[in-house]
Each structure stands twice: as C-alpha cells, then as structure tokens.
C-alpha cells in the first residue's frame, strides 16, 4: 500500500523570524500561512498530513528534523522565503535523491506565474557525501524538498507573493499529487448559488457514475446532450442491477 503521509515544515518560528522577511511579512508567518493552506488541501485530497509546527514556536534543527524523521512520511515540504538579491522560485533536493519532485514543484510554480530560478542540490564544503542543508542531512528516509517561493528583498517577487501566495501553495499540492499518482481535485471558484451543482457532480463521480470530474466541473452550466443523459442512466441502471 502506498504511503500517502506528507509532512509540511513551515520554516523558522518563535525567536527566529527568518531571513526572508520584509516590511510586509515575517518569513515565519508567511510560510506558516502557506503551510496551513497546504495542510487543509492535502487533508481534503485524502492525504495523511502532519506539520512540524502549527503555531509560532521555535524549533531547533535537531528538534525539527526529529519530528520529520519520526513522522512516517514519504515526503516533507519545507516552506521558506528567500533573501539575498535574487529573483524567482528555487527548490532544493538532497544530493542522494533524483530531484524529480523538486523539479516538478518548480515547474508548477512557473506555470502559475512565478519566475524560475533553479532546482538544485548542494554538498557540505568539506564533504562531498553529505548534504549542505540539515533538512536533507538529518531527516532520514523522508525525502525533503525545500521550497523557496521567492525573494523577500526583490520588489517583483514581493508583489507576486503578496497577491499569489495561494496559487503558489496550491501549485505544490498539484505537483505532489502528480508525482505520487494521487488524484488531484483542483479548486473551482464557484458561486454559492452553484454549490449544489458541484456537490452533485462530485457525488456521482465518487459513486462511479461519472468518470471525468474536472470535465464535468468545467461544463457545469452547459446543457447536457441526450447521449450523455442516456449513458449516465445506463450506468445507474447497471449499478442498481449489480452488473
């Protein structure tokens, strides 16, 4: 059975505000907000999801990595905001991994409008066999991807993060689902007036009457052709008969 446990790590916290802070946010608060969004979405999608911290508390390196290492998770998403004069998103993976998830996350961040910087791994200067970042070096068999959503000291990145942080958070969800072969149910901006329509479609999809959830959502207000009605009725009839 596939391990669908994910642990999310909001970087920094407590007495450590994080270097990716500016006049608009503290890094520790922004990444917690991103992480809380992802926690909720992963739950909605049926993942077993955990967090290293769910409030503004300080975690030392050993304490943070111990939580990850003992979580039973397959993957850890460690959320951060960068600083240092660059622009764009970065994802960082272990030197002992293939980087596929990190590259997939970066690709999805670019798809929703963030600038691409790089996906990379890094070794300790005095040891080519050890990861530079403790979140890779000390988290055991949990594959950790550090996600740097942009640079707090870059004006354009700051604008994009302020306006699009939810899109960026969601793009990570999509990448993880795709990488793990897990069904991804995207958020549809729906009017309250139409909510019952979406609930009906989701119900029929879960019961096996419909087989293209996203396609039906996109056509929510279009007339249904006769052939589609007959196929749906046929499927319901077969299920009632137990075929």
Can you spell out the DSSP letters for 194-224? GHHHHHHHHHHHHTTS-S-HHHHHHTTTSPP
Helix locations, 145-212, DSSP H: 155-180, 195-206
Residue pair 42/49 in contact by the 8 Å Cβ criterion? yes
Q: Per-residue pLDDT for the chain (243 aa), expressed as one digit of tens each?
A: 679 999 999 999 999 999 999 999 999 999 999 999 999 999 999 999 999 999 999 999 999 999 999 999 999 999 999 999 999 999 999 999 999 999 999 999 999 999 999 999 999 999 999 999 999 999 999 999 999 999 999 999 999 999 999 999 999 999 999 999 999 998 765 555 566 777 787 788 878 888 777 777 777 777 888 888 888 788 888 888 876
- Name the phi and psi angles at 106, rounded to 5: -60, -40
Question: What's the pLDDT score for residue 74?
Answer: 97
Structural element, H or E, at residue 49: strand 48-51
Question: What's the pLDDT score for residue 122?
Answer: 98
Question: What's the pLDDT score for residue 188?
Answer: 60
Angle formed at CA 55 by CA 112 and CA 45, multiple of 5 degrees: 45
For residues 121 and 66, state if they share a domain.
Answer: yes
| DSSP secondary structure letter of residue 114 | P
For residues 20 and 120, state if they share a domain.
Answer: yes
**CB neighbour burial string for 145-167, b if at least 16 within 10 angstroms, e if fewer:** bbbbbbbbbbeebbebbeebbee
For residues 89 and 172, state if they share a domain.
Answer: yes
For residues 57 and 173, state if they share a domain.
Answer: yes
Question: What's the pLDDT score for residue 186?
Answer: 83
Distance CA 42, CA 150 (A): 22
Tokens in use for 153? 């000291």
Strands 89-92 and 116-120: parallel
For residues 205 and 139, state if they share a domain.
Answer: no
Within a domain: 132: yes
For residues 174 and 205, state if they share a domain.
Answer: no
Closest CA to 18 of 10, 26, 30, 7: 26
For residues 162 and 219, state if they share a domain.
Answer: no
Within a domain: 221: yes
For residues 68 and 120, state if they share a domain.
Answer: yes
* Number of structural domains found in the chain: 2
Residue range(s) defining the domain that contains residue 212: 192-241
Question: What's the pLDDT score for residue 1?
Answer: 61
Within a domain: 186: no
The sign one gets for the Cα dihedral 170, 171, 172, 177 is positive
Distance CA 132, CA 135 (A): 9
Burial class (CB in 10 A: 0-12, 13-18, 19+), 94: buried
For residues 212 and 99, state if they share a domain.
Answer: no
């Amino acid at each position: 059975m596939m391990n669908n446990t994910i642990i999310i790590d909001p970087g920094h916290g407590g007495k450590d505000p994080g270097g990716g802070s500016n006049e608009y946010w503290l890094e520790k608060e922004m990444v917690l907000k991103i992480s809380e969004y992802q926690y909720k979405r992963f739950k909605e999608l049926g993942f077993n999801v955990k967090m290293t911290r769910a409030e503004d508390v300080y975690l030392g390196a050993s304490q943070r990595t111990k939580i990850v290492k003992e979580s039973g998770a397959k993957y850890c998403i460690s959320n951060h905001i960068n600083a240092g004069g660059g622009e764009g998103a970065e994802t960082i993976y272990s030197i002992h991994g293939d980087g596929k998830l990190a590259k997939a996350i970066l690709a999805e961040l670019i798809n929703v409008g963030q600038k691409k910087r790089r996906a990379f791994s890094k070794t300790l200067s005095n040891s080519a066999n050890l990861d530079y970042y403790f979140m890779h070096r000390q988290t055991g068999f949990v594959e950790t991807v550090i996600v740097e959503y942009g640079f707090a000291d870059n004006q354009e990145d700051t604008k994009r993060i302020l306006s699009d942080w939810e899109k960026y958070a969601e793009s990570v969800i999509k990448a993880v689902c795709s990488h793990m072969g897990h069904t991804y149910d995207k958020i549809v901006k729906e009017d309250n007036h139409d909510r019952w329509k979406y609930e009906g479609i989701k119900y029929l999809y879960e019961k096996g009457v419909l087989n293209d959830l996203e396609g039906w959502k996109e056509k929510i207000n279009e007339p249904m052709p006769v052939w589609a009605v007959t196929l749906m009725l046929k499927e319901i009839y077969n299920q009632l008969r137990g075929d």
